[in-house]
Amino acid sequence: MATIEEILEVERLEENIFRGIATETMLPRTFGGQVAGQALVAAVRTVEPRFAVHSLHGYFLRPGNPAMPIVYLVDRIRDGRSFVTRRVSAVQDGQAIFTMSASFQVADVGIEHQDEMPVVPPPDSLPFASESEDPEIAWLAREWSDWDIRIVGHGEVDRIRGAAAQQQAWFRSRRTLPDDPVFHVCALAYMSDMTLIGSAMTPHPGVEIDSASLDHALWFLRPFRADEWLLYDQTSPSAGFGRGLAQGRIFDRKGNLVAAVVQEGLTRFLRTT
C-alpha cells in the first residue's frame, strides 16, 4: 500500500494542472478520500502560504478507476485580500469524476465556542481494528494499514439523545508525519471519508446495500496533527430514497473540535439483477 506521503505528493504538469498517483486498493473504485485529498493538495499548490484552507465542498460524479492516475485541473476563481477560492476538477479518460470548491482565509480573530467532546473510552483501551472479529472492521485495518484505527464498541458510544444512528472511532497515522500543518489538513481530507457513510447502517445490521459517496463537505476549525489521536464522532440523522446523510465531528485527544464533516452517500438496496 502507498504511504499517505506518496498519495498526497501530486505532480505538477502545468501551472494549474496536476496528477495524482494510482494506489493499490481492495476497493472496486477509487477511494473518495484519495480524490478529495489529492484535489485539495492541487488547490493548495496554487495559493499563497499566508492563506489557510478552512473548507471544501465536493461532488463525486463518476466512479474512479483505482488503477489509473487522476489529473486535477485547478480554476483560480477568486484571489481576495482575506479569502481565496479555488475550483478543482478531477479527470480520468477525459471525464470529470469529482469536482471540488475550496476556500482559503488569512488568520483572523472573532468569537469562540465549541461542542464538548463525547465521553468515550481512550484509544489505548480499545482493540486494534485488525484484532476485531467483525470482518468489516478487520477489513479497515487491511485497507488502511498505515493508520491505527480503534472502533468504539456500540455499547460504549456516548449516545446523543434522539440521534437515529451514531458510531465513533479513534484514528491516527502509525508513522510520524511531516511537520507542515498543510500536510495534516490534506491527510485529514483523505481520512474524513473513512467509515462516515457507514454510520447510516448502524440501525440496519445485516442489510446489504450499494454504498458510495455522493458529496462531501469538510470544515477545518482548529490546528491538529493527523499522527496524533483523533476521535471521529459520526451520526446519521436521516436515510431514505436510496441516500443516507452523515455528519461527523472530529476532536483531538485534548477535546478540541478540529474539524466538522457532512456527507451524503448512496445507501440503496443491493440490486441482484
Catalytic residues: 193, 213, 263
Q: Are 76 and 46 in contact (CB under 8 A)?
A: yes
Rounded-to-integer distance, Cα 263 and Cα 59, Å: 10
Per DSSP, helices labelled H in the chain are 4-8, 32-44, 135-143, 181-191
The three cell numbers of residue 74 are: 485547478
3-state secondary structure 177-216: CCCCHHHHHHHHHHHCCCCCHHHHHCCCCCCCEEEEEEEE
| Closest to 77 (Cα-Cα) out of 99, 95, 108 | 99
Determine contact, residues 78/94, Cβ cutoff 8 Å. Answer: no
194 residue type, one letter: M
Signed CA dihedral, 35, 40, 41, 45: sign only: positive
- Residue 172 has φ and ψ, to the nearest 5°, of -165, 160
Find how far residue 197's CA is from the centre of its chain.
11
Q: What are phi and psi of 102, to 5 degrees?
A: -130, 140
Q: Give just the sign of the alpha carbon dihedral 212, 173, 132, 119.
A: negative
